[in-house]
Every structure is written in structure tokens, then in C-alpha cells.
Amino acid sequence: MAEWMIGVLGGSGLYAIDDLEDAEWRGIDTPWGAPSDQILTGSIAGKRFAFLPRHGRGHPISPTDLNYRANIDALKRIGCTDLLALSAVGSLREELAPGRFVVADQFIDHTRHRAGSFFGAGLVAHVSLADPVCPRLSSLAAAAATRAGAEVSEGGTYIAIEGPQFSSRAESHMYRAWGADIIGMTAMPEAKLAREAELPYALIGMVTDYDCWREGEAHVEVSEVLRVMHDNAGKARRTIVELAQLLPATRDPSPIDTCLDHAIVTAPERRDPALVAKLDAIAGRVLRKP
């Protein structure tokens, strides 16, 4: 058993956590380049947190231009044990109205221009994403959001699109036919990289609007999205406080903590030393084994 350190990836409209005690912004260097911003560390109710504004403070970075690998590496390197993503999303289902929080349990990756893995030529690994979120952290996050006053749906499929444009009506209908429930631009490859980093991951999608699939629905307006996003941000901050209260005193191991044990397929003598060095935080636990 060990202490928790929850890494929080704040989405659009969430750029800080005001309730952290002993709060400190810390710069973290990674072999993958610079993360989106410094990381705000501190504690709530005796539990440690590390907050990274996914788009940077003031939102200067678009979804495609995010350095997803640097963000996950920085959170792992600073000592995070688990990751909670808070993301603004559109709704693809009538029952998921603006203002509702959806704790996703599946993802569809429809992005095209992003580095999707820490591994590659010279060091190949294959992790399972059949169940891409941590059920323990997802359950705790859902309970915390409910206690924070949000209407919460547990389970749902998030489709990640490239953006930065919103969907066409034809695309929106297609995503619904694929079985997607909510739509956003940042969960992939974020969730994939978290799994490769052996970090249990959960995502709360904060619905800001109905996507443009509804008959007679006006197209998505950024001004309306921002208005609902502002309301959601307050509940998101309260959710983090409630999560700190709900976390057990000590953290039992998760199967995700060791998911790289049988994932690396490149023989030790054929591994690229430069890539091995870059993976010191992500996969050092297994790469340092004799």
C-alpha cells in the first residue's frame, strides 16, 4: 500500500485549483519536450494532488498542438499514482443534457495528427486498452461529482476528434451511429499514454452543449459553450475537494500499476538505448530489470 497522488488534467475553463494547501507551481522537464504548463502541487484533506492545465493557463494551446507525451511524462515524473481528466464535451444523446457530468468508460480515437505512443522503432510495446479507464478511480470520481452537486451519468463512450473545428451534421450523426455518447478533442491519445505509463486513468466529461445532430438545433456556438463551461468549472473544483475526502487513507495496488510487465516485445539486446533513456519515468520500472 502507498500514498495517493492524484494528477488532475484540467480541460477548457479549468486552469487552477483554489483549494490546494501549500500550493506551488513547479516546472518539470521531460525528454519529450515541454508540458502544457507548470504543474500546481499541493494537498487537500491530507491527499496529494498535482494539477496540470491541459491547454495551459489562458488556453494558448489547441487540441492538436498539445504535447500529450510530455504532459503524461511530467505527471508520472512528479510522482502521480493516478490521473483524473476533466474535459469539456458535447453530447450525442438526448438524455445527456448540458451541465451533466459523464464518467466515460470507453473511447473511440478519431484523431489523425498526434503521436499516440511512447514506444516505437527500437522499443516496441503493446498494452491492452480493452478497458481503458480505471474502475476504482472512475467510481470514486462519480461519487465525488455527485457530492459536488452535479448530475452524473456513469459509463459512456467518448469519441475524440481532431478538431479544432466542431463536427459537421453528417459527422455528428455518424458518431451517434458508431455508439458514441459524448464528443471531445483531447482524451486521445491521453488515455492511451496514461495506460502505457501505468497510470490508472478516469475521465469526467462535462457536457457543455448538444452536438449538431439534433433536428432544428442551432450549430455549436463558442459563446454558449463558454457559458456552460463556466458553470461546470465550479462543480469540477468541488468534485476534486470531494474526491480528496473519499479517497481511502492508503492506496491499494491496481493491476494497471504493472501493465507493462508483459507488454514489451523487443529483446533487451535489440532495444534502442536512446529510447530506453527517454522512457526512464514511463517504463523505468520494467526496463531496469535484469
Task: Give 156-169 pLDDT, tens digit per residue.
Answer: 999 999 999 999 99
pLDDT score at 289: 77
pLDDT score at 221: 66
What residues pair up with 203 in beta bridges, in sequence order?
Answer: 85
pLDDT score at 213: 93
Active site annotation includes 18? no
Catalytic residue among 37, 82, 181, 211: 211
Give the span between the Cα atoms of 101 and 97, in whole angstroms.
9
Give the span between the Cα atoms of 211 and 208, in whole angstroms.
9
Catalytic residue among 82, 105, 109, 209: 209
What is the rounded average pLDDT of the residues 113-125? 97
Of 86, 83, 64, which is closest to residue 189 (Cα–Cα)?
A: 64
pLDDT score at 1: 53
pLDDT score at 30: 98
Contact 151, 101 (CB under 8 A): yes
Active site annotation includes 209? yes
pLDDT score at 90: 95
Whether 11 has a pLDDT exceeding 80, the answer reads no
* Cell numbers linked to 80: 502521480
pLDDT score at 177: 98
Which alpha helices (H) appear in the chain, and where do they start and end? 68-77, 135-147, 169-178, 187-196, 222-246, 273-278, 280-287
Instruction: Provide the 3-class DSSP secondary structure of residue 45.
Output: coil
pLDDT score at 206: 94
pLDDT score at 232: 83
Give me the CATH code for the 5-287 domain, please.
3.40.50.1580
Place 44 in a pLDDT band, splitting at 50, 70 and 90.
very high
Give the span between the Cα atoms of 286 and 194, in whole angstroms.
16
Whether 13 has a pLDDT exceeding 90, the answer reads no
pLDDT score at 15: 79
Of 87, 21, 11, which is closest to residue 48 (Cα–Cα)?
A: 21
What pLDDT digit, counting tens, does each position of 201-234 carry? 999 999 999 999 998 766 666 666 777 777 788 8
What residues pair up with 83 in beta bridges, in sequence order?
Answer: 7, 201
What is the rounded average pLDDT of the residues 169-181? 97
* Percent with pLDDT over 90 in the chain: 87
